[in-house]
Amino acid sequence: MHNLDLVLTLAGGLAAALALGYATHRLGLSPIVGYLLAGVAVGPHTPGFVADRHTAEQLAEVGVILLMFGVGLPFRVEELLAVRRIALPGAAAQCAAATALGAGVALGFGWGGPAAVVFGLSVSVASAVVLTRVLADHHALHTPAGHVAVGWLVVQDLFAVLVLVLLPAVFGAGAVGPGRLPLVLGLAAVKIGVLVAGVLVVGGRVVPWLLRHAAATGSRELFTLTVLVVALGVAVGSAELFGASMALGAFLAGMVVGRSDFSVRAATEALPMRDAFAVLFFVSVGMLLDPAFLLRAPGRVAATAGVVLVGTPVVALGVVLARGYPPRVALPVALSLAQVGEFSFILAAAGAGLGVLPDEATQILVAVAIGTISLNPLVYRLAAPVESWAARRPRLWRLLIARVREQLPGAPAPAGVDPAYRAVVVGYGPVGRTVCRLLRENGIEPTVIELNIDTVSRLRAGGVPVVYGDATRRDTLQEAGVDRAGSLLLSSSGMTGSEEVIRLARELNPGVRVLARSGYVRELPALQRAGAEGMFSGEGEVALALTEAILRRLGATPEQTDRERERVRLELVGGHAGDAAGSPEPFLSAAPDRGRSDRPVGPAAGATDRPGTDRG
């Protein structure tokens, strides 16, 4: 019967999440809202199918581990250092202010001090999932505001991880009085320090070794399994051996994998499972909401929503302006933080598990999360109108720009490479090597995507920009910089999923020029439909080369040879003759001439594919 409950909970919860997530997406809202509503729909407080709450919570624990692993995976110290002058003090001040405001509201509810503090902490952290989605939807991830907001979220995530570590020591069953609290915190800090050092130092050697051997097998399943074992194993070991939270262990495991050569592949191949369990996490949270509670305590929900929608943005706006950023950066950063999400639920669940938070705290947080996540895309769009409104009021505008500096502190340097001089090359076989050489000789900087780890190691040792991962995954293409490239070249004739690569590249960068290689002429129309501008087949090139060799042997004139080549092209590829001809124009026209009269002109990507040059 228990197995049936598990299957019903999985099927019912995911089906409801799919239906409502799709519906909210169609309405222009975050799918997370749909997942939370799905939890309400399958929860015990609404009629119809009721999922097993205990099973959902167990699955949600796996979701939390994989969520934290995903947070640690892309974490880079360099990203934080780039905006450290604003992200560190800004996030600290905002979290402290929001915690104080949330605690004040909770005290007004009549709760005790510990409950008020934990509640305030829960409403002080925003959702990384929602924030990055909003920034991406508004094409703001790579703007100064986007960099500041992401750095801010990194600090918030670290703050939340620290709180998760300290909560059991302060409020757990073995909690001590104020006199011994520093000693307990010191011991906890030592244990956490040993854990962090052990995972980063020892794990930094062992984990890449495991992943390398898993990748060497050529089995995608074994590689995915290795990543999951690392995430779950380090998380469980952190809890059992060091008394830390599994969330911290998973975060550290993500950092270790993220620092290896396998970070992109781990994100693209292993973390789709994270998304499924993360959905169940939001569903399990939604199951806790009793819709009738909104009628019983609307004032408490409204007061908490006020802290998130007004208090947090106002504090963040003030901090960003005080650090010398202009309103065009400060407003988007502040408004993007006006929501709560996964970490709020994790902190609240930890507080409830310690017996600190009352049940209604979770009800309030879930209701506020659904509301603020739903409103956040709309709130973010207010940045430009609010800036325009303030600019028309001289006194207010002078106040907003009083501390603005000409050089934005901590702002990333503008991209120095024009997209026309950047290209992404998929595959580094004989054709890929030739293409990269020709690109570099003509002033175009290539980034290689390659799945052979030995080739990746060799390229990195030689200083060649390379990404280890599957090009059919969006994250791999993003890591390689397709969104900032002028050209994408698929140099391997045997790769599967070429159409998917082209489709994803077009979504990331509608203006990118795509040149694709195939083994057979019959594959060219599919590549063209997917969005390729130049298609080159091994069959076609062999036929053209043989035709030309035979005609020369027979003494044909150049004009006769050209006419016969054109006729063969038409016979082989029909309307795609120009694309398959191997014309050099598509290859180099992505980079305008810089005025170099001695600039070498190489053949097109497909023209390097002569018989015998690439046997793979």
Across 6-15, 560-569, 571-580, least confident range: 571-580
Q: Please list, in sequence order, all residues whose beta carbon lies within 8 angstroms of the beta carbon of residue 116, skipping any fewer than 6 positions away.
A: 102, 103, 104, 106, 107
> Percentage of the chain with pLDDT > 90?
14
Tell me if the domain spanning 54-383 has CATH number 1.20.1630.10.
no
Task: Report yes or no on whether pTM surpasses 0.75.
Answer: no
Dihedral of CA 172/176/181/183: which sign? negative
* Distance from C-alpha of 102 to C-alpha of 108, rounded to nearest angstrom: 10
The mean per-residue pLDDT over the stretch 264-277 comes to: 74
**pLDDT, averaged across the chain:** 79
* Distance from C-alpha of 129 to C-alpha of 110, rounded to nearest angstrom: 32
**How confident is the model at residue 172, as a pLDDT?**
65
* Radius of gyration of the CA atoms of the chain, in A: 28
On the question of pLDDT at 309 being above 50, the answer is yes
Number of Cα atoms under 13 Å in the Cβ half of residue 10: 10
Q: Please list, in sequence order, all residues whose beta carbon lies within 8 angstroms of the beta carbon of residue 142, skipping any fewer than 6 positions away.
A: 484
Q: 489 pairs with which residues across the strands?
A: 425, 515
CA 593 to chain centre: 36
Distances (CA, A) of 461 to 422, 432, 450, 464, 567: 21, 18, 15, 8, 47
**How confident is the model at residue 394, as a pLDDT?**
85
On the question of pLDDT at 413 being above 50, the answer is no
On the question of pLDDT at 80 being above 80, the answer is no
Q: What is the pLDDT of residues 127-178, one digit of tens each?
A: 877 787 788 777 776 677 887 888 888 788 778 877 877 777 677 655 555 5
* Distance from C-alpha of 113 to C-alpha of 446, rounded to nearest angstrom: 58
On the question of pLDDT at 349 being above 80, the answer is yes
On the question of pLDDT at 586 being above 50, the answer is no
CA nearest to 351, candidates 123, 175, 171, 107: 171
Only one residue has tokens 């169940």, namely 280
Two tokens at 345? 């639920």
* Distance from C-alpha of 238 to C-alpha of 253, rounded to nearest angstrom: 10
**How confident is the model at residue 77, as a pLDDT?**
64
The mean per-residue pLDDT over the stretch 90-117 comes to: 92
Q: What is the residue extent of each domain of the chain?
A: 54-383, 419-608
Contact status, residue 474 vs residue 272, Cβ threshold 8 Å: no
**How confident is the model at residue 549, as a pLDDT?**
79
The mean per-residue pLDDT over the stretch 201-219 comes to: 86
**How confident is the model at residue 200, as a pLDDT?**
81
Two tokens at 353? 């598990």
Tell me if the domain spanning 419-608 has CATH number 3.40.50.720.
yes
The mean per-residue pLDDT over the stretch 281-300 comes to: 85
Q: Which of 106-115, 217-226, 576-585 has the highest average model confidence (pLDDT)?
A: 106-115
Give the 3-state secondary structure of residue 537: strand
* Distance from C-alpha of 313 to C-alpha of 182, rounded to nearest angstrom: 33
Contact status, residue 523 vs residue 495, Cβ threshold 8 Å: no
**How confident is the model at residue 408, as a pLDDT?**
47
Give the 3-state secondary structure of residue 136: helix
Would you place residue 615 in the very low, low, confident or very high pLDDT band (cuts 50, 70, 90)? very low
Dihedral of CA 159/161/164/169: which sign? negative
Would you place residue 220 in the very low, low, confident or very high pLDDT band (cuts 50, 70, 90)? confident
Would you place residue 204 in the very low, low, confident or very high pLDDT band (cuts 50, 70, 90)? confident
Q: What is the pLDDT of residues 362-403, one digit of tens each?
A: 889 888 988 888 888 889 989 889 988 988 888 888 888 877
> Percentage of the chain with pLDDT > 70?
83
